[in-house]
Amino acid sequence: MQPSRDIRRLLEIMAALRTPGTGCPWDLEQDFASIAPYTVEEAYEVADAIARGDRVDLRDELGDLLLQVVYHARLAEEEGAFAFADVVEGITAKMIRRHPHVFGAARDLTPLQVKALWHEIKAQEKAGKAQARAQAGLPPKAEETGVLAGVPTALPALTRAWKLQAKAATVGFDWQDARLVLDKIREETAEIEEALDSREISAIREEIGDLLFVVANLARHVGADPEGCLQAANLKFERRFKGIEQALEAQGRSPAQAGLEELEALWQAVKRAEKRDRETPAAT
């Protein structure tokens, strides 16, 4: 079988992998639940390639993510639930439906009007889904009721916190100033201190969770993605710690052979070097 730019070839490959008797033994053992973790992982790989600005990797990772869509669609087709074409039809219909200002009669809308229209259409879609579930004899989904409905539990915790807070803000349950959120952070750190004094692990965990939740809210108030903020902090930590390792390697040593004071001194040296690099004008 030859590679192709046509999506049909990818569908044919997946069908071949899932064909009993001649397909791949590993692929034949998979189901929705076993493949789902790979789907999440591939989405993260896409985000990572974007963050690194690596377009070569991005092309490959988008292909891996597309394979996940094809995989799930094939599993559904084998069940008689839906096929890949139904997935494509569904998303194209949704995009057309949600953009009447582009594909319909609603023209010359302001960005604020577009956002309001988007939420109105989503509400109509939600009502339609609920009706379809009722007609199919399915019970209403508990998470589809109330202001906080529609925030998937499988999201990264910081992202889910951000989305839950944004939902609550739509009905006015929100701080009006980022500095008020900062005050709440100080309050939560004080409560962590109390929990640490009590030595109750459950209380400590709960207070740490509260602190992270409020920090996510602060990020939302300043228009920052809390997950992206933490990812950037992770990368910064990795970069600086690598600087420590390189400095010690030049001496024929490893971090395990250095004391905490020396490691901290090297850390500060790496930070100062980064600051100098940022402040030094690039050569022209």
pLDDT string in tens for the chain (284-residue length):
788 899 999 999 999 999 999 999 999 999 999 999 899 899 989 988 998 899 999 999 999 999 999 999 999 999 999 999 999 999 999 999 999 989 988 888 898 899 888 888 988 888 888 888 888 888 777 656 788 887 888 788 999 999 999 999 989 999 999 999 999 999 999 999 999 999 999 999 999 999 999 999 999 999 999 988 998 899 999 999 999 999 999 999 999 999 999 999 999 999 999 999 888 776 55
- Mapped to the 3 state alphabet, what secondary structure does the chain carry? CCCCCCHHHHHHHHHHHCCCCCCCHHHHHCCHHHHHHHHHHHHHHHHHHHHHCCHHHHHHHHHHHHHHHHHHHHHHHHHCCCCHHHHHHHHHHHHHHHCHHHHCCCCCCCHHHHHHHHHHHHHHHHHHHHHHHHHCCCCCCHHHCCCCCCCCCCCCHHHHHHHHHHHHHCCCCCCCCHHHHHHHHHHHHHHHHHHHHHCCHHHHHHHHHHHHHHHHHHHHHCCCCHHHHHHHHHHHHHHHHHHHHHHHHCCCCCHHHCCHHHHHHHHHHHHHHHHHHHHCCCCC
Cite the residue boundaries of each domain of the chain with CATH code 1.10.287.1080: 1-98, 157-224
The architecture that CATH gives domain 1-98 is Orthogonal Bundle (1.10)
Architecture in CATH of 157-224 = Orthogonal Bundle (1.10)
* Token duo for residue 256: 């395990």
Place of tokens 């394979």: 67
Neighbours of 108 (CB within 10 A): 6
pTM of the model: 0.65
- What pLDDT, on a 0 to 100 scale, did the predictor assign at position 119? 84
Rg, C-alpha atoms of the chain: 25
Closest-CA residue to 224 (of 152, 150, 162)? 162
Given a contact cutoff of 8 angstroms between Cβ atoms, the answer to whether 158 and 151 are in contact is: no
What pLDDT sits at residue 283? Answer: 54
pLDDT of residue 28: 97
